[in-house]
Amino acid sequence: MDFPNYFADAESSFDDAEFVIFGVPYDKTSSFRKGASQAPKEIRQASWNFETYDIQTDSDIKEIKIHDYGDINVKNLNPKQMVNEVKIVTSRILENHKFPIIIGGEHSITAGVIEAYQKDISVVSLDAHIDFREQYDNESYNHACTIRRIADHIDIDKIAVLGIRSAEKEELKEAKKLGLFFMDAFTIQKQGILNGVNEVKEYLKNNKVYLTLDIDVIDPAYAPGTSTPEPFGLKPLDILECIKSFSSNLVGFDLVEVCPPYDNGETSLLAAKLIRLLMGIVGTGTTNKA
Ligand code: MN
Ligand code: MN
């Protein structure tokens, strides 16, 4: 299989687009399995599998203006330099009043994305891990530190992490001490995703939301191709419910930690579908949505 190396139906110019997609093929800090750098290419390839029309959401992404900016060149950068490059590109997209969609790469990239935003946004992270370490492997921009770095930029009470089922004991203690809102996967399973999301919405006071989706929040049975898989995860439909529920608040999105060497393409397919659904649900079909 070899389809064009741009996201399917991303046929608009940068200037005309409502959504701008770019890839960050970076996996230098991944602690367990390498290969997330291959995800932007594999997710783009997988995107060609789908119809433009989606029966469940009654949306058609061919009516939506999407630009694929390609990948940024981060191969030879250290994590701090990579984060800075991501910030520069995201800033350009935001200055032009477009909705950025970033395909990772590992979760460390999100720190750069958030630095490009004003400090008044909220961030919702869907992740099996709390990613709240101050440092990991002597690196502040490790993928295990993403939420901590985001909390350096925006107030901690504007951050919510959903779906966790893994943390270091000290890390969890620190998160509680500093007042980070998080909800574990077991609570979500018990009370249902919509109750969880509603609680988060109330907590964030219906603010603008940037959504970061670490694919490992989904159970490895559905998304085995990830760098640090963790059993007892959410279901793909839970993620769709989240996207739908936050849709009118969303100001940006990333999907990270897909690791193509560890499956038969099913995780990239799910990632591509989720990105398409998000654009179908959030998109207005008109340019320059504020
Ligand atoms: Mn993560
Ligand atoms: Mn994770």
Residue 201: give its domain's CATH number.
3.40.800.10
8 in any annotated domain? no
Segments of the chain with pLDDT less than 50:
286-290
CA of residue 144 to ligand 1 center, whole Å: 6
| 209 inside domain | yes
Distance CA 100, CA 113 (A): 9
194 within some domain: yes
Query: From the CA of 166, which ligand is nearest?
Result: 2
Give distance in angstroms: CA of 64 to centre of ligand 2. Answer: 30
What's the pLDDT at 287? Answer: 42
Query: Distance from the CA of 106 to the center of ligand 1, in angstroms?
Result: 8
For residues 286 and 200, give the distance between their C-alpha atoms in angstroms, rounded to a whole number. 29
Six token digits for residue 35: 């290969």
Give per-residue pLDDT as tens, 81-138: 999 999 999 999 999 999 999 999 999 999 999 999 999 999 999 999 999 999 999 9
Ligand 1 center to residue 95 CA distance, Å?
27
Q: What angle do CA 11, 13, 16 make, to 5 degrees?
A: 105
Residue with token string 């995800």: 39
**Ligand 2 centroid distance, CA of 93 (Å):** 26
Q: Report which bound ligand comes closest to the CA of 256.
A: 1
- Give the span between the Cα atoms of 166 and 85, in whole angstroms: 29
58-63's contacts with Cβ under 8 Å and 24+ in sequence apart are 59/277, 59/280, 59/281, 59/283, 60/280, 61/9, 61/276, 61/279, 61/280, 61/283, 62/9, 63/283, 63/285
How far is residue 268's CA from residue 262's CA, in Å, rounded to a whole number?
Answer: 11
Residue whose pair of structure tokens reads 């004003």 in the numeric block: 118
Would 11 be classed as within a structural domain? no
Ligand nearest to the CA of 212: 1
Q: For 5-29, b where at least 16 C-beta lie within 10 A, e where not — what string?
A: ebbbbbebeeeebbbbbbbbbbbbb
Residue 288 alpha carbon to ligand 1 centre in Å:
30
Taking the centre of ligand 2 as the mean of its atom positions, its distance from the CA of residue 127, in whole angstroms, is 5
Contact 212, 278 (CB under 8 A): no
The rounded Å distance from CA 16 to ligand 2 centre is 34
3 lies in some domain = no
Radius of gyration of the chain (CA): 17
How far is the CA of 248 from the CAs of 168, 172, 238, 270, in angstroms? 34, 31, 17, 22
Q: Please state the pTM of the whole predicted model.
A: 0.96
CA 284–ligand 1 middle distance (angstroms): 29
The range of the structural domain enclosing residue 272 comes to: 19-284
Distance 233 CA to ligand 1 centre (A): 13
Count how many domains the chain has.
1
Question: Residue 290 falls within a domain, yes or no?
Answer: no
What residues contact 209, with CB distance under 8 A and at least 6 apart? 121, 122, 123, 124, 246, 249, 250, 251
Rounded CA-CA distance 2/275 in Å is 20
How far is ligand 1, taken at its centre, from the CA of residue 78, in Å? 18
In a domain, 153, yes or no: yes
User: Quick one: which ligand is closest to 227's CA?
Assistant: 2
